[in-house]
Amino acid sequence: MPTYELKVNGALRKVDVAADTPLLWVLRDSLDLVGTKFGCGLSQCGACTVHLNGGAIRSCQTRVAAVASGAVTTIEGLSPDGSHPLQRAWIKHDVPQCGYCQAGQIMTAAALLAQNNKPTDAEIDAALAGNLCRCGTYPRIRRAVREAAAALRGEKLTETGVDVTAGLAASTCCQMEVCA
Amino acid sequence: MKTDVTTMDRRSFLRVSALAGGGLLLGFALRPLHQASAAEATAANFKPNAYIRIGADGKVTLIAKNPECGQGVKTSLPMILAEELGVDISTVTIEQAGLDEKAFGRQFAGGSRSTPDNYEVLRRAGAAGRMMLLEAAAQTWGVPVAECAALSGTVTHAASKRSLRYGELAAKAATLPPPDEKAITLKSPADFKLLGTRVGGVDNPSIVTGKPLFGLDQKLPGLLHAVYERCPVPGGKVKKANLDRVKGLPGVRDAFILEGGDDPTGLVPGVAIVAETTWAAMSARRQLQVTWDEGDVAAHTSAAYDARAVELGGMPGKEVRKDGDVAAALAGAKTVVKSAYSYPFLAHATLEPQNCTAHVQGDSVEIWAPTQTPGGGQDLVAKTLKIPKEKITIHVTRIGGGFGRRLMNDYLVEAAAISQRAQAPVKVTWSREDDLRHDFYRPAGWHFLEGAVDAQGRIAAWKNHFVTLSNKDATEPVRSASLSADELPARFLANYRLEQSFIPSLVPTGFLRAPGSNAIAFVMQSFIDELAQAASRDPLELRLELLGEDRILPPPASGRGPAYDVARMKSVLRRVAEKAGWGKKLEKGRGQGIAFHFSHSGYVAEVAEVSVAKDGTLVVHDIWCCADVGPIINRSGAEAQVEGSMIDGLSATWRQEITVDRGRTVQASFSDYPLLPLSDVPRVHVDFIESANPPTGLGEPALPPVAPAICNAIFAACGKRLRSLPISQTDLSWT
């Protein structure tokens, strides 16, 4: 089997895998980076989204041989300590239900915000249209992306959620924005 | 203020006890210390019961007993403990319990039961811990326990201004006897500080950083990866397979046939490929050639079911319920409405495909599984592999979506059987195609309705001939295909008749979120609208009239199901109408629809607002929901369940359908079984009436009203009445 030297989350990683192996399975089985999820293997759900040179790609349809010397970023490498504005916003808005699609949602949103830190709602909808959520966390995804975009612009939104600083801690905030 | 247990509602006390299997519940909920393991009950480690551990270092660990599939119980159930124990939820560690039903009672995620089954038990468990810590402090200080107070992990004695942290009291508390069960004092709900607030999911930090949590994320030393080819027709058997060719492919360790049995809920016949990596197994599968004996199901086709249902609908069915004289009421009616409704099979399509990791070593089995019923999985593996239950350990992983699919444990027994044969730890991964084609589908169903409206515009009679799928011998409905004789509008009308006919079917069916209700509500609440139209009545007003006087209907005679509090349903209906601005003037092409449904003890009403363009393009703008499930435990989690239920219901109603052709499921991917994308998601508005009833579950009851609310809104917008689902199959264009 051929050997590939991949640049993943800033580190060089050597793997011996078949040339047609999707990046998804290299990450999950060879590199123990299981944050990137298998949902369909057909590029239809977005759960496997990672960044290749900063752009969002579906790792289930990207063969390892095609990655070459490109820089791969997975959810584990999005920030050193889980402090990316999207990760913080996801916690503040208590976005996940089952949680399975969320790494893909966040990676797609991160690629969007890296290009455009003031996306309209339509731009958010369009960018994330290929990331399916079976639990229906979409309204909170929208809020969290707006919040993270504002944070990247150095602005503060008044959207409410659970208390991000306390982790599990309860907050006494008022009704969520959709019902206000 | 404290509530003494002796004043606790006798019925709920008995209910809680009965659920534990004859009063044993308090025995294990408040297991005495000597029943805790010796290591756990050391002086430094206070463990008043199976749910709570407090170390001398002050670390508080609370156990989440039930599987977490996104319904939020890993967060909400420990909140109940934390409230009564008197600890800040932000300071505790929450641990997922493995399967141990001796310690925890039944551990399952289904029927929206986690909250109602565990609320009192967990309150009492937390309270017992708090009382022992209070007693430890009182003894330490030599003061009456009544003068001590517990709050935020600290006991204080106000008079002497002394305080001790729970960690400092753990050693002493561990030596005390647990309180007498009758003496346990619960907090008054008025004093709750945590319950009813918004708390983020306990696993959120791990989810957003990609930590291993799910079934598919499990790793073991020497783990091999397997795929399993099942017959495309359920019940089919393997005749032969090119195993030698497959075994020679790169990375493949073994390939073999498992004989399996006839029952799709157990180990089904198939061919296993065991390889070094998931991809090697998946790649090898493309070279696999199997000859099948397809069996009887190959004669079954959805289109034939539809045709047969129409035939049966034109004939009398078997009487299931008869109130009054429907025939006379129909004959004397001002207007009679006749309609036929139908709905398709649906798949669960959990985003995490079915999977399981198993390691069978001799007669001992260890399993890591995303299952909603770990106890059922243990039983099935024990029975199939002929290994004693006690030798089977089940680790409950986070579940990437349940929706009822993982009430079945077919994928558990599959992994165990493959590991046993391969003599290695094995993870079995299903493809998306496997997942959609080997599901236990929400059964399709057909309803042939006749309704009468009298001269005063009241519903005078209602007849329903329900054609449903049955077992081969046509003696009983298949799983999840029955309709209660007490389902509304039964018991609300003087003249009501329910008939039933069977179409024998071998398509595997099962429980999908709000089983039964997810289909029935569409039919009943749409037909009420048709009668409102015929009577020129406002759909809300007619519903309130149908519900009638405030009263409590007793539990169904079958004993299955709770009482029905009519006032609670009318309250949520009125409230949601008010919030949605029901009755407001809308332009042609835009409309609102209303619906209500009672399921899983929850009272839920919803209003949808949609636009239908002249070319038939549907836009769903808003869905409002008002639910009464009693007091709310975790407000963020509760709102999430309702938001998700509305979007899930919309997704299914709009676009989803499973069809069967010659026994095979036609749909195989998200391109032909679509989930709603973000761009089609409406604004969703969640509102609760927190009545002073025992809290009940929210995983399911907000789903059933979605379909009829949407379909009724489409009728209001453009005059097209949806009588079959999904909506996408109907041309909505108008002029």
Q: Using alpha carbons, select from B430, B508, B440, B404 the residue that is nearest to residue B230.
A: B430
Is A166 in Cβ contact with B72 (below 8 Å)? no
Q: Give B63 to chain A, closest Cα distance, Å.
A: 15
Q: Are B189 and B173 spatial neighbours (Cβ–Cβ below 8 Å)? A: no
CB contacts under 8 A, B 382-401 vs A, are 398-401
Task: Supply the pLDDT for residue B30.
Answer: 39
Task: Supply the pLDDT for residue B366.
Answer: 98
B229-251 pLDDT, tens digit per residue, is 999 999 999 999 999 999 999 99
B573-611 pLDDT, tens digit per residue, is 999 999 999 999 999 999 999 999 999 999 999 999 999
Question: Residue B571's pLDDT band (boundaries 50, 70, 90)?
Answer: very high
A29-41 pLDDT, tens digit per residue, is 999 999 999 999 9
Instruction: Please determine, for residue B10, whether its predicted confidence score (pLDDT) is greater than 80.
Output: no
Task: Supply the pLDDT for residue B9.
Answer: 35
Is A98 in Cβ contact with B219 (below 8 Å)? no
Per-residue CA distances from B648 to A91, A132, B218, B226, B349 (Å): 22, 12, 28, 31, 11
Q: Are B640 and B670 spatial neighbours (Cβ–Cβ below 8 Å)? A: no
CB contacts under 8 A, B 680-719 vs A, are 681, 683-687
- How many beta-carbon pairs under 8 angstroms link A with B? 234
Instruction: Please determine, for residue B541, whether its predicted confidence score (pLDDT) is greater than 80.
Output: yes
ipTM entry: 0.93
B481-530 pLDDT, tens digit per residue, is 999 999 999 999 999 999 999 999 999 999 999 999 999 999 999 999 99
| Secondary element (H or E) of residue B55 | strand B52-55
Distance CA B687, CA B318 (A): 41
Q: Is A134 on the interface with B (CB under 8 A)?
A: yes
**DSSP label at B597?**
E
Q: Are B70 and B399 spatial neighbours (Cβ–Cβ below 8 Å)? A: yes
Is B643 in Cβ contact with A103 (below 8 Å)? no
Q: Using alpha carbons, select from B370, A97, A133, B561 the residue that is nearest to residue A109.
A: A133
Per-residue CA distances from B121 to B174, B184, B191, B669 (Å): 21, 11, 19, 43
B56-87 pLDDT, tens digit per residue, is 999 999 999 999 999 999 999 999 999 999 99
Average pLDDT, stretch A161-168?
Answer: 47
Task: Supply the pLDDT for residue B44.
Answer: 57
Question: Residue A161's pLDDT band (boundaries 50, 70, 90)?
Answer: low
Task: Supply the pLDDT for residue A26.
Answer: 98
SS3 call for B424 = coil
Residue A1: CA count within 13 A, CB half-sphere: 16
Average pLDDT, stretch B39-67?
Answer: 84
B349-368 pLDDT, tens digit per residue, is 999 999 999 999 999 999 99
Question: Residue A158's pLDDT band (boundaries 50, 70, 90)?
Answer: low
For residue A178, give the nearest of B644, B670, B683 by CB distance: B683
B438-465 pLDDT, tens digit per residue, is 999 999 999 999 999 999 999 999 999 9
Task: Supply the pLDDT for residue B175.
Answer: 94
Percent of chain B predicted with pLDDT > 70: 94
Q: What is the CA radius of gyration of chain B?
A: 28
Distance CA B202, CA B96 (A): 11
**DSSP label at B371?**
-
Q: Are B415 and B428 spatial neighbours (Cβ–Cβ below 8 Å)? A: yes
Q: Are B522 and B539 spatial neighbours (Cβ–Cβ below 8 Å)? A: no
Instruction: Please determine, for residue B27, whether its predicted confidence score (pLDDT) is greater than 60.
Output: no
Category of B689 on φ-ψ map: left (φ > 0), alpha (ψ -120 to 50) or beta: beta
Distance CA B505, CA B522 (A): 23
For residue A21, give the nearest of B211, B279, B651 by CB distance: B279
Is A87 in Cβ contact with B670 (below 8 Å)? no
Q: How would you write B624-675 as a 3-class SS string?
A: EEEEECCCCCCHHHHHHHHHHHHHHHHHHHHHCCECEECCEECCCCCCCCCC
Task: Supply the pLDDT for residue B22.
Answer: 24
**DSSP label at B721?**
P
SS3 content of chain B, % helix, strand, coil (to 5): 35, 25, 40
Q: What is the pTM of this model?
A: 0.93
Is B640 in Cβ contact with A140 (below 8 Å)? yes
Instruction: Please determine, for residue B53, whether its predicted confidence score (pLDDT) is greater than 60.
Output: yes
Instruction: Please determine, for residue A23, whether its predicted confidence score (pLDDT) is greater than 80.
Output: yes
Task: Supply the pLDDT for residue B208.
Answer: 98
Per-residue CA distances from B98 to B489, B640, B711 (Å): 43, 26, 43
Instruction: Please determine, for residue A172, whether its predicted confidence score (pLDDT) is greater than 80.
Output: no
Q: Using alpha carbons, select from B604, B639, B651, B648 the residue that is nearest to residue B625.
A: B604
Q: Are B198 and A170 spatial neighbours (Cβ–Cβ below 8 Å)? A: yes
CB contacts under 8 A, A 44-73 vs B, are 44-45, 47
**DSSP label at B123?**
H
Distance CA B282, CA B275 (A): 9
Question: Residue A162's pLDDT band (boundaries 50, 70, 90)?
Answer: low
B490-503 pLDDT, tens digit per residue, is 999 999 999 999 99
CB contacts under 8 A, A 7-26 vs B, are 17-18, 20-22, 25
Q: Is B659 on the interface with A (CB under 8 A)?
A: no
Is A124 in Cβ contact with B640 (below 8 Å)? no
Question: Residue B29's pLDDT band (boundaries 50, 70, 90)?
Answer: very low
Query: Which residues in chain B touch residue A161, judged by CB atoms under 8 angstroms apart?
Result: 198, 200, 636
Q: Are B334 and B179 spatial neighbours (Cβ–Cβ below 8 Å)? A: no
Task: Supply the pLDDT for residue B45.
Answer: 84
Is B205 in Cβ contact with A18 (below 8 Å)? no
Is B278 in Cβ contact with A28 (below 8 Å)? yes
Question: Residue A150's pLDDT band (boundaries 50, 70, 90)?
Answer: very high
B301-359 pLDDT, tens digit per residue, is 999 999 999 999 999 999 999 999 999 999 999 999 999 999 999 999 999 999 999 99
| Token pair in block for residue B727 | 């909506």
Is A102 in Cβ contact with B432 (below 8 Å)? no
Task: Supply the pLDDT for residue B11.
Answer: 33
| Token pair in block for residue B308 | 């047969």
Interface probe, candidates A37, A100, A102, A159, chain B, greatest B C-beta count within 10 A: A100
Mean pLDDT of all residues in chain B?
93
Q: How would you write B494-543 as a 3-class SS string?
A: CCEEEEEEEEECCCCECCCCCCCHHHHHHHHHHHHHHHHHHCCCCHHHHH
| Secondary element (H or E) of residue B127 | helix B114-141
Instruction: Please determine, for residue B39, whether its predicted confidence score (pLDDT) is greater than 60.
Output: no
Q: What is the CA radius of gyration of chain A?
A: 17
B169-208 pLDDT, tens digit per residue, is 999 999 999 999 999 999 999 999 999 999 999 999 999 9
Higher per-residue pLDDT: A178 or B630: B630
Q: Give A157 to chain B, closest Cα distance, Å.
A: 19
Average pLDDT, stretch B91-111?
Answer: 94
